[in-house]
Amino acid sequence: MSEKPAKTALTPSTHTAPPAKFSHGVRKGNILQVAGQVGFAPAVPGQAPVPVGPGLREQTLRTLANVEAILQEGGASWEDVVMIRVYLTDTSHFAELNEIYNEYFADLTEAPAARTTVYVGLPAGLLVEIDALAVLG
């Protein structure tokens, strides 16, 4: 019998509740989509989320950790990710972003995800936003 695949919201314990009616991540069948993550520190109950630091490095590493927490909540890992979208606010950050990115993903054993990087506006204080699409085996 063919079952309709469940659609599951992925909400890691490190995350604040979403500020609107969306999920931090969703898994349905073999598709896992991570919502746009930013460099917010782990949630503190009763407090508004704050970015971990003013710099690109801290924010990027925290953003990647936030994406990873959602992947893990859905039974996936970076190895399953096929696409990463990186939103920066300043083209002069590209080289540093790549440096951080390369360090972070140095130990991947599967093909790295495809990536698109574009430069947009983000809310004050945020330098980077990242989302990801995974296809599970």
Interacting residue ranges for a second copy, rule: CB under 8 A = 4-5, 7-9, 18-26, 28-31, 33-36, 79-80, 82-85, 87, 91, 94, 97-98, 101-102, 105-106, 108, 110-124, 129, 131, 133, 135, 137
**CB 34 → a second copy: shortest distance, Å?**
6
Residue 8: which of 53, 75, 63 has the closest Cα?
75
Phi, psi for 95 (deg, rounded to 5): -65, -45
Token pair 């995800």 is found at: 113
Token pair 């972070």 is found at: 104
Question: Among residues 40 and 87, whose Cβ is nearest to a second copy?
Answer: 87
Question: Among residues 4 and 45, whose Cβ is nearest to a second copy?
Answer: 4
Encoding tokens for residue 25? 């991540």
**CB 79 → a second copy: shortest distance, Å?**
7
**CB 7 → a second copy: shortest distance, Å?**
5
**How far is residue 57's CA from residue 137's CA, in Å, rounded to a whole number?**
32
